Amino acid sequence: MRRVAIYAIGKREDRCTQHLLEELRTNAKRFVHIQWHQIYTKQIHQAQRTHEAQQAYTQALEPHLLQGWFNVALDPKGQEMDSFAFAKLLERHTKMAFFIGGAYGLEDAFLRRCDLVLSLSKLTMSHKVAKIVLVEQIFRGCSIINHHPYHK
Amino acid sequence: MRRVAIYAIGKREDRCTQHLLEELRTNAKRFVHIQWHQIYTKQIHQAQRTHEAQQAYTQALEPHLLQGWFNVALDPKGQEMDSFAFAKLLERHTKMAFFIGGAYGLEDAFLRRCDLVLSLSKLTMSHKVAKIVLVEQIFRGCSIINHHPYHK
């Protein structure tokens, strides 16, 4: 079974966001097993400056950069792609991890350790909205791979 | 007061999507009055082919192309911009209308009648997700114009 793990810096999402994500996960269940983890540490909470916050994100996220997984960081500086290119990416990698930074963004040192840096849009989005876009795109991508009519 | 109207082809959104949109609208209330309208006609329901569906969308949407408003169609073929360029666009126009087509997309004849064709992302999104991205972007844009810390 295809697996996707999403690691996002931040506290637990509100009930409605969780519901929307859950609905997309259920729709995608026949194609992919999606898990997400909100990560929020004491260091992240206490960080006051960009550099300090970014280091705290790296510390919290790097244990999840696993070998054998294709690791993708979401970042506005990343590569944009359309839904068909994203579907091809999903098709090529049966284990994918996505990393979403906090308000200060991910540090370059972390980005360099990922296999791909991806931008969802030129527009900046809140983490909540980015996660909804990403999970819907994973479902759309799986629908494209499996010739399911959702993406039409 | 700045005004934004969103016209989308489709049935009423589910309760959680409405809740997320409502929350964004409330946050943006001090800057902008946002209204949205879901439009779904008998012609749209009965349309079976692309051309027929697109004509039904045009028929349903064109009464809302008002003079004195800056009319923006959302379409994957449109122009992409970052959040700062989007904020400038909002700043220049105090009355803006956004048009979101149905599953078959908007017809070129309708796109030509709009002042701008905008693409939110290279990725294709469901109408629900596109609306969440758009409303969050309107709030973000107003925060940028008004030096409110949300966008940071």
Which DSSP string do the residues of chain A spell out, in sequence order? -EEEEEEEESSPPPHHHHHHHHHHHHHHTTTEEEEEEEE--HHHHH--SHHHHHHHHHHHHGGG--TTSEEEEEEEEEE---HHHHHHHHHH-SEEEEEE--TT---HHHHHHSSEEE-S-SS---HHHHHHHHHHHHHHHHHHHTT-GGG-
pLDDT value at A149 more than 70: yes
Which residues span the domain enclosing B129? 2-151
Q: Residue B6's pLDDT is what? A: 97
Give SS3 for B72: strand
Question: Residue A126: what residue type?
Answer: S
- Mean residue pLDDT of chain B comes to 95
Binding-face residues of A in 62-81 toward B, CB within 8 A: 80-81
CA–CA min distance A142, chain B (Å): 14
Least confident of A10-14, A32-36, A53-57, A111-115: A10-14
Task: Report the CATH number that the domain containing residue A32 is assigned in CATH.
Answer: 3.40.1280.10
CA neighbor of B53 nearest in space, from B105, B111, B1, B130: B105
Strand arrangement, sheet containing A70-79: A32-39, A2-9, A95-100, A70-79, A116-118
Binding-face residues of B in 132-151 toward A, CB within 8 A: 132-133, 136-137, 140, 151
What are the structure tokens assigned to B67, written together? 């003079």
Name the pairing type of β-strands A32-39 and B70-79.
unpaired
Percent of chain A past pLDDT 70, that is, above it, reads: 99
Nearest to B20 among A16, A80, A137 (CB): A16
Q: Which residue has the tokens 């005004």?
A: B3
Q: Residue B72's pLDDT is what? A: 98
Q: Residue B152's pLDDT is what? A: 59
CA distance B52 to B6: 23
Interface test mutation site (partner A, options B16, B18, B88, max chain A beta carbons within 10 A): B16
B151 contacts in A (CB within 8 Å)? 124
The torsion angles phi and psi of B69, rounded to 5 degrees, stand at -105, 150
Beta bridge partners of B16: none
Q: What total number of domains does chain A contain? A: 1
Grade residue B150 by pLDDT with cuts at 50, 70 and 90.
confident
Across the interface, whether the CB atoms of A122 and B82 are under 8 A apart is answered: yes
Contacts of B15 (CB under 8 A, 6+ apart): none
CA neighbor of A131 nearest in space, from A62, A33, A1, A37: A37
A132 contacts in B (CB within 8 Å)? 129, 132
Q: Residue A151's pLDDT is what? A: 66
Size of interface A-B (CB pairs under 8 A): 70
* B31 touches B150 (CB < 8 A): no
Percent of chain B past pLDDT 70, that is, above it, reads: 99
